[in-house]
Structure 1
């Protein structure tokens, strides 16, 4: 099938379910192609590298885009010696940290990039070591370099009355570590700079050599609050690589698990957001509802957070009590409607939410803000709507969107998504088709690749998979939407007061773990 983006004509080959296309692109043409994507209103979704030398090639840069043609996966072959590619951050600012991570892990350098500071290293391994290269064994101990100070060159703001406030990386609560460096005058924020990577776990390296079932278990634990999204994206990628058709009942159950996960996370966040503006009543009520929801998930499917219910080839659990799920969904809808009225009518809540942490639509588009936070800033992207794979192609999802881009808008989008997910859950349960829950995986006889995409509760979760000729995983890249959205938090806090940072941060609620692979 032929298509074109800008002045570049391509012959694309579909990969798996839905609108995923993959093609090879000369690195020299990468900036022109990226410009064409941006000019038509598309976005860069993910950027990662791979070491392909064991396949008789060099390295490769992979980029994935949202476009009018669907999801476009571009593969740029790079030389084995000194692999480089043109910088993309001047076109898509969200590429900056992804490029820095690709260098830290693989030594793939973005030529012409302005910011080349290390991102993931934290003095944890030697400067000439690249952990994702195939000649770097997974379990080989490296001489400790932690005694050397990790003097990360934060950008400093100078001037009369300017002070710095370092927050983290270790926090007082149970949240994961991240460093936030505020430059302030009085209590007004002039600049925020983030430093992440403190929970770097070596997940991408750990995937290497795993069998396909083990890979699902690891993928689902990249970011535990998005387990179903990651498990489904991983399984979709594996099934695309193998050319495997999954039974219809299993696909509908996967969507059911995903929407249950979406409701649980939104309930928790709505409670936390109430708590951050001193409405402890809201916190108590939303978390009461979330706990009831999780307990029902455990009773129906065997796990509160639905861990390992989605597996390669299908699902590992069936719906055992449809009436219980529908009854709680109906009751939960009524209670959430009442709680929304409380939030809407509470003057203190509205005063704290409105005009706080604002990212306007133009800035959101420039930064590539996606998912829930993007839709609250008028970025109308939802993979369930634009590029629906089964069963979403039969469910007509209503996209929740707002244009104000502040905490209030992100709260409103959460409420709307709770109501829509409850509607979808009822539709899925009533239309759940009969049939088997899965099919066995075929024998792998050659190297194959696939890509999976799922609109998780934060936004698009992407997993790219390459399976070796021995049937084991050769390269897996899971991508969390937090990569794009963390930089937008640095913009949203500007001009706000420091005490509002916890509220603004929670309104995005980005993943440290999903970012720090």
Structure 2
């Protein structure tokens, strides 16, 4: 009996109706049968889901197979389409979000509860065709949503603990509902969406420059990565070739951002394990990175420094000296902190074997960044599919199998070391020349997509620019969409006191997820 030949992603794209101007990867409008075939490949683990988003009467899905990336689109008569989440759980929350924003109804969706819309917007399906105009002329607002129904858990002596959405300290809002047996967590269920900013709605109808600024504000700790993803998508759509010096300066900013956030995370994880000394020392190093970034590029977080067509700030001799001094200081001080972490038994007792994420779940959810790499998923968008100048730089992608808090700390430690090396290589090989070119206004709609590596993992940006240069539709997908559900799985069987530790080791973005 011969085995059925499995289609490649490129075969599905070519079988559909190709959409012109899509770069660098192709998009095709497909039939429901082809859509369902793609869902089958996802369900059987042959492909990975990179994103799912909506438009009025259309749903899109970005896919990754072993050799290629592509987007398939399905027309949704009456706003209905076959659910992906019914067979591939990583799509569940993305489908629920598209239902809230566009009114698209996935048929067979196992969980139809609202996700982003908590009944406080004053309008249903705000991005659906004509929704804003209808709301403006309406005499009443939609009724508020009923209280969120958390899933039940059965068993003897179980109790529930609600946490959030308002938290102590400076932290974004999110609700966590624990079901516990004594101190042991038997289920965690999240309710997010409290940080919804309407980013994608604000982008629609905006000039490219304004949409780029909005993209950089999706998740503040990843402003460089989001700006880079949007800029690369816009440049792909418009056929813009960025000056070489700007490409290398972008990589420098990206590695400085990765350095700052990893240093901050390492200290914060240790702080949640009651080891404040590491928190203090890592906080000092993070502050050094932020001050150097401000001195060199004019902003501590380097916000709005990457723009479509290049970069807004150049690097002079004083800046080169400042970055080299920063790298030298971290190289001198960081190894002592690593040794302190590794040799503190009370700290290891809290992090080793805590919050384990199984490798098969990391693969199923295509978990990016340190979450995926700590659980054996060897993926880094800088390397594959790759983008310049990383194809000319030498770096390793650290991967571990243990999947616990300790492994996620060690991935960060190794990535700090790799970022220091990358920064040194960039400074040594930084080319001269201009740092920015203008971007044209297209005379017809053009599409582009980009996948870049932020500190949390891969960030996807897809957009369509209409005639005259206005953004018609833009979707940005944070790595946290695929990491938040995994936190629920990793925390099971741990004690309640270890939740802050596990949560910080994931460090998912609220605002990046809530859009």
The runs of 5 or more residues in structure 2 that have no matched partner are 1-5
**Contact between 2:394 and 2:422, CA under 8 Å: does it hold in 1?**
no
Aligned to 1:21: 26
Alignment of 1:354-393 (within 5 A): 354-393=352-391
Q: Structure 1: which 4+ aligned runs deviate by more than 6 Å?
A: 141-147
Alignment of 1:208-287 (within 5 A): 208-287=204-283
Instruction: Select between 60-69 and 225-234 the one with higher mean Cα deviation.
Output: 60-69
The whole-number CA distance in structure 2 between the counterparts of 1:116 and 1:224 is 30
**Contact between 1:357 and 1:406, CA under 8 Å: does it hold in 2?**
yes
Any idea what SS the aligned residue of 1:299 has? helix
Aligned to 2:3: none
Q: Displacement, 1:90?
A: 3.7
| RMSD (CA atoms) | 2.1
Superposed CA deviations along residues 470-508 of structure 1, whole A, max 9, x for unmatched, are 311111111101001100000011000001000000000
**Contact between 1:451 and 1:465, CA under 8 Å: does it hold in 2?**
yes
The whole-number CA distance in structure 1 between the counterparts of 2:364 and 2:462 is 25
The runs of 5 or more residues in structure 1 that have no matched partner are 52-58
**Contact between 2:480 and 2:512, CA under 8 Å: does it hold in 1?**
yes
Alignment of 1:36-435 (within 5 A): 36=41, 39=44, 41-51=46-56, 59-79=57-77, 82-125=78-121, 129-137=124-132, 140=136, 148=144, 150-320=146-316, 321-435=319-433
**Contact between 2:177 and 2:189, CA under 8 Å: does it hold in 1?**
yes
Superposed CA deviations along residues 170-206 of structure 1, whole A, max 9, x for unmatched, are 1111101100000001010010000000111111111
**Contact between 2:23 and 2:448, CA under 8 Å: does it hold in 1?**
yes
Aligned to 1:35: 40
The whole-number CA distance in structure 1 between the counterparts of 2:463 and 2:80 is 22
The whole-number CA distance in structure 2 between the counterparts of 1:394 and 1:246 is 16
Q: Displacement, 1:147?
A: 8.2
**Contact between 1:60 and 1:78, CA under 8 Å: does it hold in 2?**
yes
Q: TM-score, normalising length from structure 1?
A: 0.93
Any idea what SS the aligned residue of 2:511 has? coil
The whole-number CA distance in structure 2 between the counterparts of 1:88 and 1:275 is 40
Instruction: Select between 35-44 and 346-355 the one with higher mean Cα deviation.
Output: 35-44
The whole-number CA distance in structure 1 between the counterparts of 2:121 and 2:276 is 44
Q: TM-score, normalising length from structure 2?
A: 0.93
Q: Displacement, 1:400?
A: 1.3
**Contact between 1:189 and 1:493, CA under 8 Å: does it hold in 2?**
yes
The whole-number CA distance in structure 2 between the counterparts of 1:396 and 1:21 is 29
Q: Displacement, 1:32?
A: 1.2
Q: Displacement, 1:242?
A: 0.7
**Contact between 1:40 and 1:67, CA under 8 Å: does it hold in 2?**
no
**Contact between 1:123 and 1:145, CA under 8 Å: does it hold in 2?**
no
**Contact between 1:385 and 1:396, CA under 8 Å: does it hold in 2?**
no
The whole-number CA distance in structure 2 between the counterparts of 1:455 and 1:410 is 17
Any idea what SS the aligned residue of 2:131 has? coil
The whole-number CA distance in structure 2 between the counterparts of 1:287 and 1:389 is 31
The whole-number CA distance in structure 2 between the counterparts of 1:141 and 1:334 is 64
Any idea what SS the aligned residue of 2:26 has? strand
Any idea what SS the aligned residue of 2:513 has? coil
Distance 1:31 1:410, change over 3 A: same
**Contact between 2:21 and 2:447, CA under 8 Å: does it hold in 1?**
no
Instruction: Select between 174-183 and 139-148 the one with higher mean Cα deviation.
Output: 139-148
**Contact between 2:381 and 2:452, CA under 8 Å: does it hold in 1?**
yes
| Residue 1 of structure 2 corresponds to residue 5 of structure 1 | no
Structure number with the higher helix fraction is 2
Superposed CA deviations along residues 332-376 of structure 1, whole A, max 9, x for unmatched, are 023111100000000011110001000111222233322220111
